[in-house]
Structure 1
């Protein structure tokens, strides 16, 4: 199941990148700040809930995903990178997780466990004082 994020719901602003880079970084606003409001989006409600339940640091308390892209020198490539990262985040929660089916231990595993316990008990019993000491 693939859900595409509409560009109308995404706010993109150009900012100056951080870090080394000299004159290019200091003068050119090539980094991109992407904001995506999950609650106001057109995604299905189940996907919204899973997105909001993520413990991701890019998700604010207001339910807005903030992605900063400054890997590339050009603004267009940073914009494409930010959109791809947002799409990857949405795709990661698009499919509901498969529910865990609880299982019971097999008879053989129970016997192995009890055998190990009895061996350990016998080892510890040898450490005590001999009878009639």
Structure 2
């Protein structure tokens, strides 16, 4: 399911951003500036999504959801808060779209003639290898 621009704007209105100091290397910039962005989206309280969509998000993104049923997305890769905010929102929309798309049904196919021959050849080679392991008959 591809989210339209109007739905994205409505979802962004329900999102809360918070900034904190990033960890890791980076020198003075990391120690002084709050560049890490944490995006919080309260799934259950969303007015944009219906109940089925909320359940799909809670099920498929359960490892990113905290005890308050908030979807957490963080970004601390870039050196500026603005770029990290952009990355976090992009990641958020990708996660929501991916969780709401239905997987395609798999079409059953018959094995090809070449794959059948290859399987039989492998079986013969393995059988021959096992025959060679036996001690010689006296």
Shared fold (TM-score, shorter chain, > 0.5) = yes
Q: Which runs of 5+ in 1 are unaligned?
A: 104-126, 128-133
Of Structure 1 and Structure 2, which has the larger fraction of its residues in helix? Answer: 2
Q: Which runs of 5+ in 2 are unaligned?
A: 110-133
Task: Give the length in aligned residue pairs.
Answer: 130
1:36 aligns with 2:41: yes
Query: What's 1:2 paired with?
Result: 2
Query: What's 1:89 paired with?
Result: 95
Of structures 1 and 2, the larger Rg is shown by 1
Are 2:61 and 2:99, in contact at CA under 8 Å, matched by a contact in 1?
A: no
**TM-score for the superposition, normalised by structure 2:** 0.66
- Following superposition, the deviation at residue 101 of structure 1 comes to 7.1
Indicate how the Cα distance of structure 1 residues 95 and 66 shifts in structure 2: closer, same or farther if over 3 A, else same: same
**TM-score for the superposition, normalised by structure 1:** 0.69
Q: CA RMSD in A?
A: 3.2
Indicate how the Cα distance of structure 1 residues 89 and 16 shifts in structure 2: closer, same or farther if over 3 A, else same: same
Matches within 5 A, 1:1-133: 1-3=1-3, 4-5=7-8, 6-19=11-24, 20-22=26-28, 24-41=29-46, 42-54=48-60, 56-99=62-105
- Following superposition, the deviation at residue 79 of structure 1 comes to 0.3
Deviations 1:86-121 (A, max 9, x none): 000011022223456789xxxxxxxxxxxxxxxxxx
Q: Which runs of 4+ in 1 moved over 4 A?
A: 99-103
